[in-house]
Amino acid sequence: MTNLPKFLPRRAQAYAAVVLAVAAYGAAVLWGRLQLGAQIRAQILERDAVILQALARREAAEAAARDPAFDPAEPASQYAVLLGMADLTNIIAARLFDAAGRFVAGVPLEVKEAALSEATLARLQTLEPLTRFQTDAPRAELFLHLPDLTSPQPDTLSWVEVYIPFHAPTERTLLGVGQFVLEGFTLQREFARLDRRLNHQSAALFGVGALLICLGLGWAFARLERANRLLADRTADLQRANQALADAARSAALGAVAAHLIHSLKNPVAGLQSFVVARHDTADPAESAEWREALAATRRMQKLIQDVVGVLRDQEAAPAYHLPLAELAQSVAASLQNLATARGVTLTTRSSGEATLDNRAAGLLRLILTNLVQNGLEATPPGGRVELVLEADAQTLTAEVRDQGPGIPEAMRARLFEPVPSTKEGGSG
C-alpha cells in the first residue's frame, strides 16, 4: 500500500482522501451514537431501580411504624414489603430470596421458583439495586403455567427485572433480596423511540459533518492544486532561466573567442586586401582575372569582419533600440544587392507582423540571414528569383529564404545542422 499513491492520479488521491475522511467521521459518529444509546438505556433502567428501592424503603418504614414486631431480617417482614409493592402498576410478578440467594416466596402463585446466580448475588452484596432488561424471553421462564386459560397468551414476553437488596437501616449486611418483574413492552417502545431519535440525530450530524468535510477538503485540495500548478510553472520558468543563463554563458564565451579572432584577423586581412589591390592594378592582363577573384575574396572577408565587429560593438556598448522586421529584411537585401545584380538574380523581401527586435538580436539574425540569402543567390541560376520572408506572431518569428536552386543534396539533409566541410568553391563550410 505504500506505493499505491505513485500509481493513482492526483485527482483520484484527493477523492480517496475525502472518502476516507468521511468514512472515519461516519465511524466516529456511529461509535458515539452506540455509546450514547447504551448510556441512556442504562440511565433509564437505573431510574426504575432507584424508584423501586426508594418505595421499598418507604414501605418498610411504614410497616415498622404499623407493627412494632416488624424485623427487616425476618423473611415474613420482607415478604410483607414485597406484597405491599406487588400491587404497583406494571409489576407483573415478584420473588423473595434469602441472603444466600435461595427462593423464599413469590407472587402471583404461578410464578416460577428460581435461585440467584453467584454473580448476581455478589453484586447485590454491595447493597446497590440491580436491573436487567429481557426482550422476547420465553414466558415459561417466569410462570409455571398460563394464569388465564380462557384467552390465548403470547409465548414470549419482555420484562424488566429489578433486584432490591433488603438490609437494616443502620447496617450494611444483606438480609434478603426482592425481585420485581415489570412489564417491559412500555420500556421497549421507549427504547425504540430513543433509537429512532438517536438515528435521526446521528444521520443529520453525519450529513452536516460529511458536507463540511467535503467542502473543507475540496477547498484545501483546490488550494493545493493551485499551489502545485504555480510551483510547476515557477519551476519551468526557473529551468528556462537556467537554460537561458547557460546559453548566455556559452554565447559570451563564444563571443569572447570570436571577438579575439576577429580583432586578430582585422589588420592582417586589411593588409592582405591592400596588397591584392596593388597587385591587381599592376598585374599582366593574363593574370588579371586571378587577381580580380582574389580581390573579391579579400573584400568578402573584410566585409564579414566588419559585420562581425559591428555585431560585437552592438552587444557590448551600443545603446539599445528596436528594429522592425521590414527594416531588417531590407538591410539584408541591400547588403547583397550587388551580388544579386552580378549574378542576374532578382532579390525581393516580404515581411508580416508588427514584431520588432532589439538591435543586438537583430545584428545576430542579420548575419545568419545574410549567409542564407547569399547561399540562395549563389545556388540560383541567372534569371532566377530569391525571396526573403519574415513572419512573426505573439511568440514566434519565422524566417524563410526561397530560391530556385537545385536544393540540398539528399545525403546532406540528415546532417543539415552539423558543421561539415563545404563543397562550394570558396566556401568555408
How confident is the model over 180-234, as pLDDT tens digits?
999 888 888 998 999 999 999 999 999 999 999 999 988 988 888 888 889 989 9
Which grid cell is 353?
Answer: 507582423
Look at strands 385-392 and 346-352 and give their pairing: parallel
Highest mean pLDDT among 52-61, 97-106, 134-143: 97-106
Q: Can you give the pLDDT at residue 20? A: 92
Residues in the chain: 429
Better pLDDT: 79 or 308:
79
Looking at residue 319, what is its pLDDT? 64
Residue 152: asked if its preceding bond is cis (omega within 30°), the reply is no
Strand order in the sheet with 385-392: 346-352, 385-392, 397-402
Please say if the pLDDT value at position 118 is more than 80.
yes
pLDDT confidence of residue 1: 45
Task: Give CA–CA dist 246/251, Å, rounded.
Answer: 8
Coil, strand or helix at 244: helix
pLDDT band at 100 (very low <50, low <70, confident <90, very high): very high
- At 370 the pLDDT is 86
**What does the pLDDT look like over 85-97, one tens digit per residue?**
887 778 889 999 9
Q: What is the mean pLDDT of the chain?
A: 82
At residue 115, the pLDDT reads 93
Q: Do domains 4-147+154-183 and 248-404 have the same CATH topology?
A: no
Fold annotation for 248-404: Heat Shock Protein 90 (3.30.565)
- How far apart CA 21 and CA 34 sit, in angstroms, is 20
Report pLDDT for 5: 47
pTM: 0.51
Element (H, E) at 279: helix 185-282
pLDDT score of 332: 86
Q: What is the 8-class DSSP label of residue 113?
A: P
Q: What is the mean pLDDT of residues 53-79?
A: 89
Structure confidence at residue 312 (pLDDT): 65
Q: Which of 176-185, 264-273, 348-357, 367-376 bottoms out in mean pLDDT, i.e. has the lowest? A: 264-273
Q: By percentage, how much of the chain surpasses pLDDT 90?
A: 25
Q: Would you kindly state where each structural domain of the chain is located, as residue ranges?
A: 4-147+154-183, 248-404
User: Per-residue pLDDT for 265 more than 80?
Assistant: no
Residue 149: its pLDDT value, please?
47
pLDDT in the model for residue 418: 66
The reported pLDDT for the residue numbered 98 is 94
For residue 123, the model assigns a pLDDT of 93
Which segment of 27-36, 113-122, 235-244, 271-280 scores lowest on mean pLDDT? 271-280
pLDDT value of residue 201: 94
Cβ atoms of residues 423 and 411 within 8 Å: no
- Listing DSSP states for 301-342 in one string gives HHHHHHHHHHHHHHHHTSPP-EEEHHHHHHHHHHHTHHHHHH
Give dist(CA 353, CA 328) in Å, integer. 13
Give pLDDT tens digits for 378-425. 888 998 898 999 888 777 888 889 888 887 777 776 776 666 555 555
CATH class given for the domain over 4-147+154-183? alpha beta
